[in-house]
Chains A and B, each alone.
Chain A
Amino acid sequence: MRTSRYGAGKLALELLLVIFASLTLYPIFLILINSVKTYPEVMKSLVSMPNEPTLENFSKVWVLMNYPRAFLNSLLVTVSSVIGVLLASSAAAYRLVRSPGKISRFIFYFVLSSLVIPFQIIMVPALKVAKDFHLVNTLHGLVFMYWGFWFLALCSCITAL
């Protein structure tokens, strides 16, 4: 391979990609600069750099939406969902691959085919199931549901590998 050579062509490509990447990142940059502006300033111009950067927005949000609590909730749900999904999916995928046969293949395709079920169709009935098991409005209930929703994706990925 002659990839080690770095000529004018590569420099041009690199510059082009840097421009393209900057465009890609621009909306994220906008969020950052607008988060330290005051409201009138944001309304005046979206792209101008902040005149006098202020952290007022952050402190307001921190209190208003009870940020620590919300973040803790997200963190708990994410960590326990990931752990549960990893354990159960890899266990299932391992057995499915190690004992090939009609049953394993059926389970695999059965689970995999549910990838095409649109979430909106199962939303309300899933809520009913959760209610039957008294899982509504609890954190662990949410975690259980995530387990159910994400197993298939991960399980099918691992099995496919």
Chain B
Amino acid sequence: MNKQIYRKSLVYIAFVGPMLILFLLFIFLPFIRSIIYSFQDWNGINSHTHWVGWKNYRNVLTDTDFARTISFTLKYVLATVIGLNVLGLILAVALNVGLKSRNLLRTAFFLPTVMGTVIIGFIWNFIITRLFPQIGELTGIGILHSSWLALPKYAFWAIIIVTVWHTLGYYMIIYLAGLQGLSHELMEAAEIDGAGRIKRFWSIVLPLIRPSITICLFLSIINGFKSFDINYSLTMGGPYGTTESISYQIFQDAFSKDLFSYASAKAVIFFLILTLFSVVQVAILKRKEVEA
């Protein structure tokens, strides 16, 4: 009996071990080290470090730059989450009704997702600074004449547009998978009962694709908070740091300003915010899932 338990745990370790070791090595251990750094005054290069207690955290809380990136990131998350999920769901529903070119269309909408974010930032930078004015001249639409990446208000929307363009296909696919898992019998039964198109969508389709909604909301919120690549390659955080996401500012502090432990303190606070958001969100959405 004892031998059996021993064998069983050996198998368990053999299966789970490799994953766990690499995970501990490259994610968990570095993360713990970062937390330790946040209580020190290391600049990333120096070999001498001192414990400074909560000093980094106190400085972060009074840092107006940090407050500004948090407000930018929250607005960005709100805008992209709404844009991605509403448009993604609409696209998925539209591509699920049996159009002739649906496979081609699905591919077309998914294509931007497979491109690297850094490349996308550079291309859109080109499009926004060079093509938008050209279109503006042709069509006389005044809004396209402004230099979008130089004005804070426009730069914000430029980032939103590029993000939605880039990742929409991904969320569309998840919603599409959810829609295709719906059973025809339920829809037919509702139709016979006299439920209209809109009624059917609200009372049957939406509750049943709740798992997809949970996943999409979770991913879009997390990815929104962690956004870095597009801010880096499209606007470099500018104009005047107004499009600096939290990740981007942490990166800047750590590698351009050599404030490594200060950046670590920011990252730990960021991690706590993110954890709070995900836990609350998953708890709320999980509760409302139903099964057919």
Interface residues of A (CB under 8 A from B): 1, 3-4, 6, 10, 13-14, 17-18, 21-22, 24-25, 27-28, 30-31, 45-47, 88-89, 91-92, 94-96, 99, 107, 111, 113-126, 128-130, 144-145, 147-149, 151-152, 155
- Best-buried of A115, A148, A155 by chain B (most CB within 10 Å): A148
A126 touches B26 (CB 8 A): yes
Partner of B126, one of A10, A46, A95, A121: A46
Please report whether the interface of chain A is mostly helix, strand, loop or mixed according to DSSP: helix
B167 to chain A, nearest CB (A): 12
Q: Does any Cβ of A come within 8 Å of B20's Cβ?
A: yes
> Can you list 23 contacts pairing A with B, beta carbon distance less than 8 Å?
A17-B94, A17-B105, A21-B109, A24-B109, A24-B111, A27-B124, A27-B127, A46-B126, A46-B134, A91-B16, A91-B18, A91-B19, A92-B18, A116-B222, A116-B278, A117-B31, A118-B247, A119-B247, A125-B29, A128-B33, A129-B26, A151-B23, A155-B19
CA distance A114 to B20 in the complex (A): 12
B252-292 CB contact bits vs A (8 Å, 1 = yes)?
00100000100110011011001100100000000000000
Partner of A120, one of B29, B109, B130, B254: B254
**Residues on A with beta carbons closer than 8 Å to the beta carbon of B22:** 88, 144, 147-148, 151
| 3 tightest A-B CB contacts, nearest first | A148-B26, A125-B30, A121-B267
Using known A-B contacts A28-B111, A114-B27, A148-B22, determine if residue A95 contacts B187 with beta carbons closer than 8 Å.
no
CA distance A13 to B98 in the complex (A): 11
A145 touches B26 (CB 8 A): yes
A6 touches B226 (CB 8 A): no
Partner of A1, one of B100, B127, B184, B228: B184
Q: Does any Cβ of A come within 8 Å of B12's Cβ?
A: yes
Nearest CB to that of A127 among chain B residues?
B30
**Residues on B with beta carbons closer than 8 Å to the beta carbon of A3:** 97-98
**Residues on A with beta carbons closer than 8 Å to the beta carbon of B109:** 21, 24
**Residues on B with beta carbons closer than 8 Å to the beta carbon of A30:** 123, 127, 131
- Best-buried of B23, B95, B98 by chain A (most CB within 10 Å): B23
CA distance A9 to B254 in the complex (A): 55
Nearest CB to that of B219 among chain A residues?
A115
CA distance A99 to B7 in the complex (A): 14
B162 to chain A, nearest CB (A): 9
Q: Does any Cβ of A come within 8 Å of B34's Cβ?
A: yes
Q: Does any Cβ of A come within 8 Å of B1's Cβ?
A: no
Partner of B99, one of A14, A88, A92: A14
B123 touches A13 (CB 8 A): no
**Residues on B with beta carbons closer than 8 Å to the beta carbon of A121:** 30-31, 34, 250, 264, 267-268, 270-271
**Residues on A with beta carbons closer than 8 Å to the beta carbon of B263:** 120
A118 touches B270 (CB 8 A): yes
Q: Does any Cβ of A come within 8 Å of B15's Cβ?
A: yes
B269 to chain A, nearest CB (A): 11
**Residues on B with beta carbons closer than 8 Å to the beta carbon of A122:** 26-27, 30-31, 34
Using known A-B contacts A118-B247, A120-B247, A152-B27, determine if residue A47 contacts B131 with beta carbons closer than 8 Å.
yes
A118 touches B27 (CB 8 A): no
CA distance A121 to B263 in the complex (A): 8
B33 touches A125 (CB 8 A): yes
CA distance A18 to B264 in the complex (A): 47
**Residues on A with beta carbons closer than 8 Å to the beta carbon of B27:** 114, 117, 122, 126, 148-149, 152
Q: A91-B19, A118-B271 are in contact. List 10 more A-B contacts (CB 8 A).
A: A10-B97, A14-B99, A24-B168, A27-B124, A27-B127, A28-B115, A116-B275, A118-B274, A128-B30, A151-B22
CA distance A96 to B17 in the complex (A): 11
**Residues on B with beta carbons closer than 8 Å to the beta carbon of A18:** 101, 105
